[in-house]
Amino acid sequence: MKNTTRMYFFAAIMLIVTMACSTVANLGATPTPAPTNTPPPTSTPIPSPTPSSSILFEDSEFTNSCKTGGTDDVDRLVENGQFKMTIKTPNIVAWTDCTEEEFSDFVYEVDATQLGGPDNNIYGVLFRYDTNIKDFYVFAISGDGYYVIAVDGPNREEPNMLIEWQTSSAINLGNATNHIKIEAVGSRISYYVNDQFLGEIQDSSLSKGVIGVFVGTLDDGNVSIGYDNMRVSSAP
């Protein structure tokens, strides 16, 4: 999928609010020409949290975290030990928050598996989601090897694109599992895929909030993503 198409999608998509039946307009930025992609930073293996890191939240069975249910466009259910989201309709994103507790400084990681559907999709994590103003950070990847970071929410006229769509060889393509990881400490946000460091940004838009997951479609529907091994630990 061309980068310009992805930018248009992220600018014009309709966001389905958690478990609501109606949609709200979102991400109303005007598409711009795609920037020239630059090579990602040299990949560096990142170790798992050490025993000194405390677990703040952990769920591998999804019995009491991410909300389930469905609409005409979206199914959310727990199946085979995974939290599974299937988007049936093109050009929408469905999302859900997975905790009531808010986190400020943390390491958030989850396994995300593309179970079916086209590779030109979007899936990933929400974090520091402020449920009062409805803003959140989003770190997303796609089945054909792209990633993006933005600040967004249903009440925004346009997103704040912190990292435009670009490719990374760290992302497993197609129907595969990707380990997504965010490390947030103050205004510093580091992002990883499959334990490979992709980059770091500085942004102070949101200082704390709940976590969540989401899945989106582009030109075609029936994208299905399974989430597993969700964990939030204290920041190093």
Ranges of each domain in the chain: 3-24+53-233
Domain 3-24+53-233 CATH class label: mainly beta
pLDDT surpasses 50 at 115: yes
State which H helix or E strand residue 202 sits in: strand 196-202
The residue that leads in pLDDT, 221 or 152, is 221
Whether pTM > 0.85 for this model: the answer is: no
> Is residue 162 within 8 Å of 174, Cβ to Cβ?
no
User: Which percentage of the chain shows pLDDT scores above 90?
Assistant: 65
The encoded tokens of residue 133 equal 């103003």
Planar angle of CA 83, 212, 68, nearest 5 degrees: 40
pLDDT 10s digits, 120-134: 999 999 999 999 999
**What does the radius of gyration of the chain's CA atoms come to, in whole angstroms?**
16
Amino acid identity, position 9: F
Number of helices (H), then strands (E), belonging to the chain: the values are 1, 17
Query: Average model confidence (pLDDT) for the chain?
Result: 83
Report in angstroms the alpha-carbon separations of 174 from 59, 83, 149, 178, 194: 25, 19, 20, 10, 15
Report in angstroms the alpha-carbon separations of 229 from 11, 125, 175: 31, 13, 18
Planar angle of CA 168, 172, 174, nearest 5 degrees: 115
pLDDT 10s digits, 21-59: 223 234 333 233 333 344 444 444 555 554 467 999 998
| pLDDT (average), residues 169-192 | 98
> Is residue 94 within 8 Å of 74, Cβ to Cβ?
yes
pLDDT 10s digits, 1-20: 545 455 545 554 544 444 43
Q: How far apart are CA 152 and CA 27, in angstroms?
A: 7
User: Which percentage of the chain shows pLDDT scores above 70?
Assistant: 78
- Give the pLDDT score at 45: 54
Pairing of strands 223-233, 82-87: antiparallel
User: What is the four-CA torsion angle of 66, 70, 76, 77, rounded to 10 degrees?
Assistant: 90
